[in-house]
Amino acid sequence: MAMFSPMFARECIERKRDGGRLSATDWTQLMHDYASGRVPDYQMAALAMAIWFRGMTDDETAALMQAMLASGARLDFSHLRAPRIDKHSTGGVGDKTSLILAPLVAACGVAVPMMSGRGLGHTGGTLDKLEAIPGFRTDLSLERARRQVEEIGCVLIGQTAEIAPADRKLYALRDATATVESIPLIAASIMSKKLAEGLTGLVLDVKHGSGAFMPERERALALAQLMVALGAQHGVPVVALLTAMDRPLGRACGNALEVEEAIMVLRGEGPADLIEVTMALAIEMLCLGEVARDAADARAQLEHAMASGRAAERFEPVIAAQGGDAAVVADPSRLPQAAAVEFFRADTAGTVLEIRPREIGLGITALGGGRSRVEDVVDPTVGFVISARPGDRVRAGEPLATVFARDATGVAKGMSALRLAIRIGEGEARVLPLIDVRVTAGGTA
């Protein structure tokens, strides 16, 4: 590593500002100096904005990702015989697939070291959902996480301080400087964390549609392709599915409500759209882990794990090992319950044209179940269960959803959010295909 020079970061910013490119050595030096505090936030913010406008070449993105990966520790599972596969979603509303996939896929013989995030803005976060289970802890050390994967085949934790610290710092800075929405920066950020998990394969659920943080299909596809390529360069096969986030996934939206719905799916019950996306992702995980011959074999194994009770049973030791009340699996009524519950009814007859996920997510935050600032504490009990789906014909007065709130004020807020989110009228509901394309290193199909 070259000696630190205060002019070096300035020269890098200037080059990116003018549309030039930085070498792999430059990225390594920059991220090293940034992680150790020698490059100040104001210079890194200027560089992030230059990247936002000018973009990065694929080589630069790979070098940035490598530098962020190298800034921290990695899980070492090289002694384990079992395949290690994780799933990452770019986030949405009602997306509780991680809670289902980890125990389900582990029950089929694939180890799942799953590292997830918290909800921010209108999207929910897996860690908040898990923490709705009384006592559940997601802040395990890497060493404890590693042991749990060896013993139970699955762990669900948050990004620890040891993993990709340069990304952690840069992501917080991007959040504050409106530079999150850059495809190369997102790809490098997500993949630097995922590749630190010591995986043998990775499945990505890249959302598009109005409730996704990358709504445009073309941009979501470009992000998927870039992340698949970054994985391949590191010898980790990655499969990405482009899935719909123009409506919430499943019926439950809100932390404890989503845990309950996830437990239903582990038993093979639950909403059809949630089951379809979960199965598609789980099939990819089993095939990447080479525990299934093909998709049909994977589906048969997964259905058997659900029907036999093995999938739900696998969740119990995971919850217990992480300090939670494992009895919620057999009895979800042990989850924290909202004090005020009320139906939301259609004010007119017609067709449900739209259920806008962004408005639902913001509604959860208004009820106290989401975060506007990182330090906000979330209420696990609040949210919505939306029984209506786009395309349904409804009568005036028919219940479309249920609001779960702390009190009457919360119920009123929930009703307002649902009025904004659910559009009823005449005509056809236009929805995105639930599962669009599949992206692998071999191409997009």
Binding residues for ligand URA (CB under 6 A): 171, 180, 185-186, 189-190
Of 86, 128, 167, 205, the active-site residue reads 167
- Asked if 379 is an active-site residue, the reply is no
Q: What backbone phi and psi angles, to 5 degrees, belong to 441? A: -65, -20
Which is closer to ligand URA, CB of 64 or CB of 338?
A: 64
Catalytic residue flag (residue 371): no
3-state secondary structure of 397: coil
HEC assignment per residue over 331-388: CHHHCCCCCEEEEEECCCCEEEEEECHHHHHHHHHHHCCCCCCCCCCCCCCCEEEECC
Dist CA 122 CA 111 (whole Å):
31
Question: In whole angstroms, how close is the CB of 71 to ligand URA at the nearest point?
Answer: 14
Q: Is 250 helix (H, G, I), strand (E, B) or coil?
A: coil
Half-sphere exposure of 90 (CA within 13 A, CB side): 30
Catalytic residue among 189, 205, 251, 314: 189
Q: Whole-number minimum distance, CB 382 to ligand URA, in Å? A: 25
Question: Could you confirm whether 88 is annotated as catalytic?
Answer: yes
- In the complex, the smallest distance separating the C-beta of residue 117 from ligand URA, rounded to whole angstroms, is 6
Cβ proximity to ligand URA: between 189 and 440 the closer is 189
Q: Which lies closer to ligand URA via its Cβ, residue 119 or residue 289?
A: 119
Contact 231, 309 (CB under 8 A): no
193 catalytic residue (yes or no): yes
Among this protein's residues, is 32 annotated catalytic? no
Residue 374 burial (CB < 10 Å; 0-12/13-18/19+)? exposed
Q: How far apart are CA 260 and CA 335, in angstroms?
A: 8
The Cβ of residue 55 has, within 10 Å, a number of other Cβ atoms equal to 16
For ligand URA, which is the closer residue by CB, 159 or 301? 159
In the complex, minimum distance from the CB of residue 345 to ligand URA, in angstroms, rounded to a whole number: 37
Catalytic option among 174, 194, 314, 358:
174
With a CB cutoff of 8 Å and minimum separation 6, the contacts of 191 are: 65, 69, 227, 230, 231
Give the residue with the Cβ less far from ligand URA, 186 or 195. 186
User: Catalytic residue among 16, 168, 193, 371, which?
Assistant: 193
The SS3 of residue 132 is: coil
Residue nearest to ligand URA (CB): 189
> How far apart are CB 90 and ligand URA at their closest, in Å?
7
What is the set of active-site residues?
A: 88, 167, 174, 189, 193
